[in-house]
Structure 1
Amino acid sequence: MSTTDPIPVSLAEIARIAGVGRAAVSNWRRRHDSFPARIGGTDVSPQFSLAEIERWLRDNGKLDSIGGRELLWPRFDALGSRDESGLAIAEAARRMHSPRARGSRTKLTAEADELAAEAAKLGRKEGARETFDFLLQRWLETHVRQLSTTPPPLAALMARIALGVRVDGSGEEAGEKLTVLDPACGTGHLAAAAVQEDAGSALSVLACERDPALAALASARLAFLTAGHDIRTEIATADALREDPFSGARVDIALCNPPFNERDWGYAELATDQRWTHGLPPRTEPELAWVQHLLAHLRPGGAAVVVLPPAVASRKAGRRIRGSLLRTGALRAVVALPPGSAQPHSVSLQLWVLRTAPDDPTAVPAAQDVLLVDATRFARTGTRESGPHWEPLRAFVLSALEALDRPDADLPDGAVRVPLIELLDDEVDVTPGRYASVTAEPSGRELAAAWREAVPVLTDLARRAERLSELRFSAGTPQTTTSVGDLVKAGALSLRSGQQTADGAAAPGRDSVPLLTVADLLTDGNPSGLVTAGSAPVIVEEGDVVVAGVVRAYRAWVHEGPPTALGPQLYALRVDSAKLNAYFLAGCLRAPSNGRQAGTHASSSSRVDIRRLQVLHLPLREQEAYAEVFRGLRDFETRLGAAEGLVRRLVSDVSDLLAAGGLGG
């Protein structure tokens, strides 16, 4: 993009800059003739000039409490190149640390260099670390499809495991710093986690990354994190497998989230490498090359934790190396994570816990078994939140691994010690799910806790039912109604129809929004997909009324939560708040009789004519009274559904215990 071209921003970006919701920006655009005209995009997803938007917001007093970071980011984004913007952010961080720094360490365009200088100036004014973290997060969100990062909760768990599993003092010299290695560090999530989990200790951090932009950002991240602490960091830009920059170095702990399924990892040129003490990794098993690379760098008693795809635990090509890892005691534990723990999110990834033999053979028991931990039950389902239930997952995994060197210690449900003799068969399969099963029966404590949870829920339902039972209905003259179509003509609301999206699916990121479909309504009611905002013809925002226009899934509700795209047969109604109450409208529309009258009645797949739906014709003040009751009724229904699920689980658990003869005297 030329420096003279206007920098485009979307409605969502304008909302971030002004610190308001997207609906507010849409209202400004409709109400103010002076609002800048769009310079690109489409009617559904327009784009505007950043300079014109900034000027308009300032002239209208809408930037008083907003910092300059939101205004700065679109300019970084407009640089176009992922590497250019990443290196510019890293250079800005360097100048924040050293205000007198002149000249860039990396070759940047004049535009990127100028932008780095402006970001550094802003950082010194608004907070250097906060400004860098903001720009880094936006950069990661923008390029999420091109990057694979380790989520902070997973990085923290891996660091804590490694620190807990290593044999303290083994192989260390007096006064020597604890050394950490990450040979494929990306933007430094794992190295940062090691620093944070071992806060207060003297550390030496070695990290390597072959992508120059990622390496520069990792260096900037660690510089902020280690400032003022006795921590030495060294970030190398190299391919750790082909050109190991730390060859010969020995470390206490190693953490790694290596690239998966890379066939071109150096199989031919590294065939005689001394790191392959457990065997030359097959060309199709690059992950086992990373495992041996980590082991080659560990001191005696050192520990490594590596993220691997589940196939590595069972693929036929790698069974010889897996067998050697087991026989030598290098592979100490395997943890199966819930889907969604890291990219790729649809896969149940694994953590392999590795350790070298300590100098003192009596420091830990000789390896006679392997600890296999199945933590997949901590997956998050039926919710819009991403990732697993991190807190109970972390507690469960750490609890299981505490027993690693204590053969007589009890293990939590879902963890099991498997003797090496059982694993060293023709398959050498170390998949936790094959050996670690979770007991379905709850403990007495868990059952008592479930009953304690159920009692207040049912009591609350009883109170709400009593209040609703006090409603009185008159049998007087029928109220006048009007149709949705007439309300649209009168300008009291607008009606938009959801459509099939152009791109089908998207990765999580800055420009992606959840996609709700009729199929979702027939399951758990939560959006099951993501689409880019620009490809979604209809996006509902908080306060909009959504109607499902098909008989089998007919319902209406006021949307709450983030902007959401609508698929086919879903409709968005946006009310004029001076004429209609959204909750009143949704309450009238969701009446089953209303849907039946407006439907074709041919089958359960019949469509509902949204424009024929009827709404009471009432003044706004009277609408509010109805809206309050409608909301109470909807809330009662929602709580009833949650209570039903809780009670069903309780009945099922108690029935199983009774059927097993578990009734006490």
Structure 2
Amino acid sequence: MNQQASALVTAADISRLAGVTRATVSNWRRRHPDFPAPAGGTDTSPTYDLDAVRAWLSARGRLPEDTPADELRTALRTHPGDGELALRLLPAVLAAARLDRRGREALPGLRDDALLRWIRSAADAVADDIPGVESATYSADVTGPLRALVRCVSVDGAEAATGVLTERLLEDTGATGTYVTPRPLADLMARLLADSTGAYPVSVLDPACGTGSLLAAAASAGATELHGQDVLVTRAAQAAVRLRLSTPEAAISVRTGDSLRSDAFKGLTADAVLCNPPYGVREWGHEDLAYDQRWAYGVPPKGEPELAWVQHSLAHLAPRGRAVLLMPPAVAERTAGRRIRAQLVRDGALRAVVSLPQGAATPLHVGLHLWVLERPDPQAEAPGTVLLVDASASGNRDLDRAAIDDTVLSAWRPYLADQDGFTGTPGIAGAVPITDLLNEAVDLTPARHIRTASRQALRPALLARQASELYDQLHRAARDLTGLSADGDWPPADDRPRDWRTATVADLLRGGALALLRTAPAGRRTRSGQPRPQPDPELGGRSALTAADVTKNRPASGTEADLPTGVALPVIQESDVLLTEVLRVGNTAVARVAEPGEAGCFLGPHLLLFRPDRRRLDPWFLAGFLAAEQNVNAAATGTSVIRVDPRRLRVPLLPLAEQQRYGAAFRRLHELRTAARRADEAAEDVTRLLSTGLTGGALLPHGHGSA
């Protein structure tokens, strides 16, 4: 009890404890004079007494019932040296996950001495699998956090328990320049490794693996031998545990150390490499590695660490083996690196450069590049072109990941299959001759070549016809928007806003007023890592409605690849209410009612489906209040990525007739929002096309003669 009384928590801990965003915690601090005063920390990063915070939250009904994950967070926070303890507890997650259900459920009930014997034995058994735990010790003071951990694994699952430990480990690393690769981007990078026949490399190396997101994507795509190295022991340990949990049949080797200064895989020849190298780290060992044999394309200057990672990756590849690296855009044009870039192009080692939109990965304000490299085969003729793809405009509207993937893969796959016959897409993708790249600057920025080359490919008559068609679409969208926005007379309530009695979704579920369905996270392959040999009979060719489909109010676009295997898949019915479950800071949740044409589609990941009893709840009324900003904020957890806890959402208790009046209003707002989006997209499309035509010389201004 003494330890718990003196425990200190951060604002991030409070947001997780209360299930709100960090912005909400900041508002509480500013607006409530009785909010607990800081008990430690600094002015910019204060800490608070845990008991005082819990008492304050409880007094205001803001303290939800602790889940096993919450209990584990508290147990770690109240333990001295919690970051080091989180690392030592990782073997317990892996060992508990390997037990059958009965064995896992029995662990929390073990006596202290028996629980300690179990963890010591378990740590010995997996010590070779997890870096940094070889000499871990376990004394009686760890039994509380350990018991909370095994309870979390038993109830919430091993991945949830690993996530809680990861939170603590990431807070204690203090490392800069390294970022988690978002899963959609990791999947895209992994898909670029497949050859033109669809065959996938067996062995994949990530020399800066972090917590293992790129290797996990490679395993999902088909790789069965995974090799990773990271300079931070805590990240390498997390990667080892996560990979063994998600791909237990794969051969996994994760090691620690600086890959450039101390390569843990010397002599390894891998089929492929995936890497998101550290960002902007200048002290990478330039002086110590000046004569390293890996620099086959030139010694990287001190200010070009990314070109060191490029050559490190190529050195680990078999001939014709491929590497995909996520790179800062400046690497494509900095003067200091032009000699190495020229040699990579000249030798045929650089196969493609893809520019991504801002927000595709951290740092979010930078439009990063993907470099696709291939170790040259000395027996083969060097290719004469490099594929350049400008995907920076793809997905700019709400960062449409599907549009980014389509832009990149629809260029890469045809180019890979037939480089000589590849024609490209004007303004987006092209096979640029290496002679055009080997100028004084050796600038590999896609836009500077693709947009210049596309001018010659413009066809004036076709462009004029396309412009006319887009203008017609814009006029129709504008008429629809004008009609929907004609009546703006919304009467005010009385002197004060209405105050409703509300019920939580959890209450409504218990009362049978609605049902809640969801689908497990996306796109799993079979445990062997291979694609399904045959389509799942249950799918029957049906589409899946994705979170992006709901956000953009478009028809279902998901396929079988977007759905997990081995689980029951919810099927959408007409009048189901759909709510996006995951959103980023600054975005709002979107809810709408399923249309008749969507009935029979499968529910995609990251969507919540509420099926109301139509005799008690109006669907559009439910959709409107579920997605209310204040409602979502009160039921959300997380910081950069926010997840909605559906059971904590609240709904007013109103008669059905009144619900239907509100429902009609919410449906009208939905139609207005949809019309505005279509008009905006139509205006964007027509102005982009006209600008391209005018600046490329294919179109003439109004009133200009054709002579």
Paired residue for 2:299? 280
Paired residue for 2:389? 373
In the alignment, residue 368 of structure 1 is paired with which amino acid?
G
Q: Which structure: larger Rg? A: 1
User: Any residues of structure 2 matched to 1:249-648 within 5 Å, and which?
Assistant: 249-358=268-377, 361=380, 366-381=382-397, 388-405=399-416, 406=418, 407-413=420-426, 414-437=428-451, 458=479, 462=483, 465=486, 561-562=632-633, 641-642=676-677, 644-646=679-681, 648=683
- How far residue 195 of structure 1 moved from its aligned partner, in angstroms, is 0.5
In the alignment, residue 117 of structure 1 is paired with which amino acid?
L
The partner residue of 1:121 within 150, 162, 177 is 150
Taking a change above 3 Å as real, the CA distance of residues 300 and 4 of structure 1, as seen in their structure-2 partners, is same
Is there any run of 5+ residues in structure 1 with no aligned partner, and where? 27-35, 170-176, 474-478, 488-509, 517-541, 545-556, 565-580, 583-622
- How far residue 132 of structure 1 moved from its aligned partner, in angstroms, is 3.0
Q: TM-score, normalised by structure 2?
A: 0.59
Paired residue for 1:186? 210
Taking a change above 3 Å as real, the CA distance of residues 55 and 258 of structure 1, as seen in their structure-2 partners, is same
Taking a change above 3 Å as real, the CA distance of residues 372 and 166 of structure 1, as seen in their structure-2 partners, is farther
Looking at structure 1, the residues matched to 347 and 493 of structure 2 have their Cα atoms a distance apart, in angstroms, of 83
Taking a change above 3 Å as real, the CA distance of residues 266 and 463 of structure 1, as seen in their structure-2 partners, is closer
Is the Cα contact below 8 Å between 2:5 and 2:49 reproduced in 1?
A: no
- How far residue 359 of structure 1 moved from its aligned partner, in angstroms, is 7.1
Paired residue for 2:238? 217
SS at match of 2:73: helix
Looking at structure 2, the residues matched to 391 and 360 of structure 1 have their Cα atoms a distance apart, in angstroms, of 38
- How far residue 366 of structure 1 moved from its aligned partner, in angstroms, is 3.6
Paired residue for 1:527? none
Looking at structure 2, the residues matched to 391 and 112 of structure 1 have their Cα atoms a distance apart, in angstroms, of 49
Is the Cα contact below 8 Å between 1:310 and 1:431 reproduced in 2?
A: yes
Is the Cα contact below 8 Å between 1:334 and 1:371 reproduced in 2?
A: yes
Looking at structure 2, the residues matched to 6 and 300 of structure 1 have their Cα atoms a distance apart, in angstroms, of 59
Paired residue for 1:96? 96
- How far residue 143 of structure 1 moved from its aligned partner, in angstroms, is 7.0
Taking a change above 3 Å as real, the CA distance of residues 450 and 317 of structure 1, as seen in their structure-2 partners, is same
Paired residue for 1:586? none
Taking a change above 3 Å as real, the CA distance of residues 111 and 433 of structure 1, as seen in their structure-2 partners, is farther
SS at match of 1:184: coil
- How far residue 111 of structure 1 moved from its aligned partner, in angstroms, is 8.4
SS at match of 1:354: strand
- How far residue 211 of structure 1 moved from its aligned partner, in angstroms, is 0.6
SS at match of 2:273: strand
Taking a change above 3 Å as real, the CA distance of residues 40 and 436 of structure 1, as seen in their structure-2 partners, is same
1:22-61 Cα distance to aligned partner (Å, 9 max, x none): 99999xxxxxxxxx9957579xx99563599499979x99
SS at match of 1:163: coil
The partner residue of 1:153 within 168, 184, 188 is 184
- How far residue 273 of structure 1 moved from its aligned partner, in angstroms, is 1.3
1:375-413 Cα distance to aligned partner (Å, 9 max, x none): 1102535x5xxxx32111011111111133412123234
Paired residue for 2:538? none
SS at match of 1:436: helix
- How far residue 302 of structure 1 moved from its aligned partner, in angstroms, is 0.4
Is the Cα contact below 8 Å between 1:166 and 1:301 reproduced in 2?
A: no
SS at match of 2:318: strand
Paired residue for 2:106? none
1:239-284 Cα distance to aligned partner (Å, 9 max, x none): 1111111111100000111112222211222122111111111122
- How far residue 89 of structure 1 moved from its aligned partner, in angstroms, is 5.0
Taking a change above 3 Å as real, the CA distance of residues 447 and 561 of structure 1, as seen in their structure-2 partners, is farther
1:103-132 Cα distance to aligned partner (Å, 9 max, x none): 653546858844552244214421543333
Taking a change above 3 Å as real, the CA distance of residues 71 and 643 of structure 1, as seen in their structure-2 partners, is same
Looking at structure 2, the residues matched to 380 and 301 of structure 1 have their Cα atoms a distance apart, in angstroms, of 34
Looking at structure 1, the residues matched to 74 and 8 of structure 2 have their Cα atoms a distance apart, in angstroms, of 8
Taking a change above 3 Å as real, the CA distance of residues 264 and 61 of structure 1, as seen in their structure-2 partners, is closer
In the alignment, residue 383 of structure 2 is paired with which amino acid?
A
Taking a change above 3 Å as real, the CA distance of residues 357 and 17 of structure 1, as seen in their structure-2 partners, is same
Taking a change above 3 Å as real, the CA distance of residues 320 and 165 of structure 1, as seen in their structure-2 partners, is farther
SS at match of 1:562: helix
Taking a change above 3 Å as real, the CA distance of residues 57 and 281 of structure 1, as seen in their structure-2 partners, is same
In the alignment, residue 204 of structure 2 is paired with which amino acid?
V
- How far residue 292 of structure 1 moved from its aligned partner, in angstroms, is 0.6
- How far residue 318 of structure 1 moved from its aligned partner, in angstroms, is 1.1
Is there any run of 5+ residues in structure 2 with no aligned partner, and where? 27-33, 41-45, 100-117, 124-132, 498-581, 589-622, 636-650, 653-657, 702-707
Is the Cα contact below 8 Å between 1:238 and 1:245 reproduced in 2?
A: yes
Is the Cα contact below 8 Å between 2:389 and 2:450 reproduced in 1?
A: yes
In the alignment, residue 425 of structure 1 is paired with which amino acid?
N
Paired residue for 1:241? 260
- How far residue 297 of structure 1 moved from its aligned partner, in angstroms, is 0.6
Is the Cα contact below 8 Å between 1:338 and 1:379 reproduced in 2?
A: yes
1:297-339 Cα distance to aligned partner (Å, 9 max, x none): 1011100011111111111111111111111111111111111
- How far residue 459 of structure 1 moved from its aligned partner, in angstroms, is 5.0
Looking at structure 2, the residues matched to 23 and 312 of structure 1 have their Cα atoms a distance apart, in angstroms, of 36
Taking a change above 3 Å as real, the CA distance of residues 38 and 211 of structure 1, as seen in their structure-2 partners, is same
Select between 623-632 and 278-287 the one with higher mean Cα deviation: 623-632
Looking at structure 2, the residues matched to 139 and 451 of structure 1 have their Cα atoms a distance apart, in angstroms, of 55
Looking at structure 1, the residues matched to 243 and 54 of structure 2 have their Cα atoms a distance apart, in angstroms, of 35
Q: TM-score, normalised by structure 1?
A: 0.62
Looking at structure 1, the residues matched to 443 and 2 of structure 2 have their Cα atoms a distance apart, in angstroms, of 56
Looking at structure 1, the residues matched to 430 and 217 of structure 2 have their Cα atoms a distance apart, in angstroms, of 28
SS at match of 2:393: helix
Instruction: Establish whether residue 68 from structure 1 lines up as the match of residue 68 from structure 2.
Output: yes
1:579-621 Cα distance to aligned partner (Å, 9 max, x none): xx99xxxxxxxxxxxxxxxxxxxxxxxxxxxxxxxxxxxxxxx
Paired residue for 1:208? 229
- How far residue 634 of structure 1 moved from its aligned partner, in angstroms, is 7.0
- How far residue 137 of structure 1 moved from its aligned partner, in angstroms, is 6.1
Is the Cα contact below 8 Å between 1:300 and 1:357 reproduced in 2?
A: yes
Taking a change above 3 Å as real, the CA distance of residues 360 and 403 of structure 1, as seen in their structure-2 partners, is farther
In the alignment, residue 399 of structure 1 is paired with which amino acid?
S
Taking a change above 3 Å as real, the CA distance of residues 235 and 21 of structure 1, as seen in their structure-2 partners, is closer
RMSD: 5.4
Is the Cα contact below 8 Å between 1:179 and 1:253 reproduced in 2?
A: yes
Looking at structure 2, the residues matched to 433 and 192 of structure 1 have their Cα atoms a distance apart, in angstroms, of 31
SS at match of 1:378: coil
Taking a change above 3 Å as real, the CA distance of residues 412 and 126 of structure 1, as seen in their structure-2 partners, is farther
In the alignment, residue 403 of structure 1 is paired with which amino acid?
P
SS at match of 1:425: coil
What percentage of aligned pairs have identical amino acids?
30
